[in-house]
Amino acid sequence: MSGTVSNLAELLQSMHPVLNRGVYAFVSLPAGSVPARVEPIATFREREGLTLIVEEQQAQDAGLPILFRAAWITLTVHSDLQAVGLTAAVAGALAEAGISCNVVAAAHHDHLFVPVEAASRAIAALQALQERAGPEPGAA
């Protein structure tokens, strides 16, 4: 796929983490159907039910039990889905900072869900990881 980055050093150098606005909730629905007026940003079907990631207010309005309150960070580099090592490097940097992380890889970007209260520390840890990786490719 053209325009994607698969080299780990390049991925780290150009990941540019961005904190999205809002608070997001992980919820699980045993029946596997999405309630009306709930617009998930991600879903995953498991044997036990359907996991949704939704805006926290939508979960509250629908009376859904919230399993995890998260801040959503997007790595804006267009990462190749077959790239090796990015998830490990990011998770390692966040683990060193004592921050849990749930990663969702989508077609264009990787998305990190961290505890809401750790959002600014997570951004700082990711920016430090990016700086340690060196200058961006093509930077003078």
Domains assigned to the chain: 8-132 (3.30.2130.10)
The least confident of 21-25, 52-56, 58-62, 105-109 is 105-109
Neighbouring C-beta atoms of residue 127, cutoff 10 Å: 14
The pLDDT value recorded for residue 1 is 43
Cα 132 → chain centroid: 21
Q: Does residue 2 surpass a pLDDT of 80?
A: no
Mean residue pLDDT of the chain comes to 91
Q: Does residue 138 surpass a pLDDT of 80?
A: no
pTM above 0.85, yes or no: yes
Q: How far apart are the first and last CA of the chain?
A: 27
Residues 6+ positions from 2 with CB-CB distance below 8 Å:
none
- Reported as a pLDDT band with limits 50, 70 and 90, residue 6 is confident
